[in-house]
Chain A
């Protein structure tokens, strides 16, 4: 081919050989997907191991495929309303089945057994999962799809945030929070609301001092007071009520008063009922954490329901959660009735709620998950404040010339260099400065959080700077010309516009923090702890630390089971965080 065309003369101009070019193009395409392909293969294997899919009988796979996957894909196709797409999807699913099964039989007869893979699993990973991803993307473009995914997202996200909050109260004193909320925040909010309503600026101004006084009073009273309400009641009053009120206010702004009352009141009542009487009624769940989760999940979901029903488009999409739950239950029923062998998944309730153990089947990640959540919360707070403040300074408060200009350039170079310092060196900083010099303790939540905050600070700053830079200068000049001070322009114009971008960058940086291990080892975080930390200064572990510890275990059950489950848990949390960040960014881009 190559030599043929090289010498052939076609037409008047002749032809230049393209073979080298074509080979090069495919070579570079291959290089582009090489890393992605390698990672995909590894992820497939770790998924199979974590869920013990290799042990899943084909019947089990088929059952859930029919009860869960097929209805879900049907929903996506229904939402996309595209006949051509439906035909294509069916062709891909069918053709893929034949192709994978054929190729697999060929490989197994010619080369031999592929380790821990069969054609059913290959079909699942190579055809069904990418197809599902594509159909979700296409389905989300239709109204029912976007409504359904919106609702499911709120339910899952709400549950995750609710659980994360309940974890935080393991180390933070909920009684102090109760007092601070009751004595400081509520009076301050009341004063503010009153001031806004009656145009009494004195009341608005007083809100901040009131809150500070209240919090100080709370700290003072905390030890003196003997009796406190139950935790369930504290959560109800300090968390569920304000969340419900915020939801009701949001609905009130765009809908009727009745709708607002319903959107706030129904989830609140439900949360209170589950929290107070759940255990007694034999629901199996109850107590403060259940209350919190129901409130955090229910209020946004209710507000979303109200909006969807109000707009009246894609209401059918609201059936998606029902479809999924019904599918899962139906699958379970079939599996139970016919006695189909179920895979013995390593990712299980035990794994998520129990402490580590020598026995692989009893080992759990719970203390490490709690540790990670606490670190993330503190790192988020610290790096967000520091990152935004620094980027505001660098973008809004500096000049190009003079002393400030020189300082800016120095800071900028310094930040770029800090971003490239190896994380293990940050670990030494944490060890030398926070643990030893400041005496914050080896491997305590405080030491680790401070270290990781400094570690991701440069990334946070750089992305926040980009977000701030993308705010059009027109708006700044408009505000300046109104006689706004620099801070007023920043607060009223720049930060609201840059906020989604800043948030996205911060979440992505937090994703880095949640997976960091080396600095944790350096500051002496425990590889394994057997109970969840009870204060910011107690010894604690984090998910990657536990994975590191387990990876060294020689038993295959740990290597291929427990660690895989840990890796999958960590990756799911990471994907959840990064997915949220990307959704936020896309929404902000569409909005502007």
Chain B
């Protein structure tokens, strides 16, 4: 113990010590900024080539033309995204029809009905669904699901088709819906459930009448994320859906309202935005050609759509966090 009268030395430490401390802080900050630079780099990369593309192909043509044939073969090149959007929508909607209801029911089961031990088994198993490489799902769709469907339900199905791919995309996105929705449902205060039971409601009525409405913003945000994931999904559709940009035939009919026969798109091969990108990348990558630039235009479209959906989902999710 010092027994001195002089005041203790509380000065800032030597330059070297502070430099060392500052270096660590600076290094961590620099690494953190890399994540920001990644976003900047993504936008810059996509924009620079996409702008070159739009200088050659007018943006109106890109957005309205129904024909996609990037490789000049006989006729000219055409870059119309409409057929690709239809392909993407086909997959997304079909996958959504699987993942959204199944995921929601799963979330309700996990949050309201499952015993803790059942939950501890089911949750990791569900996570496995999201952890299987997508190329493996694509292989499953092509080699097992399509022949099985062809042998049983849809004999007229082609080898590459949207249905098998969509089913696999749906299975893959189930855990995304279920885990976020379950978080939202678990965040519903028990008071609300007790109030329901106090009024003589059954567990079913409490689950569907109180818990689900109370967590609706969380559920909605999980839906948007899952759909955004399905839009950006690549390998499943590349492997199982084929690569033929098709416009489904619009049929005259039903009370004069034109309609598209779902079988026409689902059982045939088709092309999504992501498949179109992969197809170009499988060819020439040296740059400078219009198809190369078109790839970035498609990437930009995809990026903007998924970004908007994420921001939207985030805003919606904020609401339920604030409620409780």
Interface residues of A (CB under 8 A from B): 16, 18, 20-21, 24-25, 27-36, 38-39, 42, 45-46, 385-386, 389-390, 392-394, 397, 410-411, 413-418, 420-429, 431-433, 435-436, 442, 454, 457-458, 461, 485-487, 508, 511-512, 514-518, 521-522, 524, 544, 547-548, 551-552, 559-560, 563, 567, 570-571, 574, 578, 582
Contact B299 A425 (CB under 8 A): yes
Contact B32 A390 (CB under 8 A): yes
Give chain B interface residues in 69-119, CB to chain A under 8 Å: 101-103, 105-106, 108-110, 113-114
Contacts of B165 in A (CB 8 A): none
Kindly state the separation between the CA atoms of A46 and B136 in the bound complex, as whole angstroms: 10
Q: Say yes or no: is B46 at the interface (Cβ < 8 Å to chain A).
A: yes
Contacts of B105 in A (CB 8 A): 27-28, 30-32
Give chain B interface residues in 28-50, CB to chain A under 8 Å: 28-29, 31-36, 38-39, 41-42, 45-46, 48-49
Which residue of chain B has the shortest Cβ distance to A31 in the bound complex?
B105
Given contacts A431-B281, A567-B139, contact A35 B41 (CB under 8 A): no
Contact A21 B132 (CB under 8 A): no
Contact B110 A425 (CB under 8 A): no
Contacts of B33 in A (CB 8 A): 411
The listed residue (A386, A426, A458) touching B31 by CB distance below 8 A is A386
Give chain B interface residues in 235-252, CB to chain A under 8 Å: 235, 238-239
Which residue of chain B has the shortest Cβ distance to A419 in the bound complex?
B310
Distance (whole angstroms) from the CB of A141 to the closest CB of chain B: 15
Q: Please name 12 pairs of A and B residues whose Cβ atoms are closer than 8 Å in the assembled complex, sorted by A.
A: A21-B202, A24-B204, A25-B203, A417-B307, A420-B225, A425-B232, A487-B24, A518-B134, A548-B235, A571-B132, A578-B131, A582-B124
Distance (whole angstroms) from the CB of A579 to the closest CB of chain B: 11
Give chain B interface residues in 1-41, CB to chain A under 8 Å: 20-21, 24-25, 27-29, 31-36, 38-39, 41
Distance (whole angstroms) from the CB of A90 to the closest CB of chain B: 23
Contact A521 B278 (CB under 8 A): yes
Top 5 A-B pairs, shortest CB-CB distance: A515-B133, A422-B232, A21-B204, A432-B45, A31-B105
Kindly state the separation between the CA atoms of A544 and B21 in the bound complex, as whole angstroms: 43
Contacts of A486 in B (CB 8 A): 21, 25
Give chain B interface residues in 169-190, CB to chain A under 8 Å: 171, 174-175, 178
Given contacts A24-B208, A425-B302, A432-B48, contact A524 B285 (CB under 8 A): yes
Give chain B interface residues in 138-159, CB to chain A under 8 Å: 138-140, 142-145
Kindly state the separation between the CA atoms of A517 and B233 in the bound complex, as whole angstroms: 11
Q: Say yes or no: is B215 at the interface (Cβ < 8 Å to chain A).
A: no
Contact B274 A518 (CB under 8 A): yes
Give chain B interface residues in 274-322, CB to chain A under 8 Å: 274, 277-278, 281-282, 285, 287, 295-296, 299, 302-303, 306-307, 310-311, 314
Contact B106 A28 (CB under 8 A): yes
Q: Say yes or no: is B161 at the interface (Cβ < 8 Å to chain A).
A: no
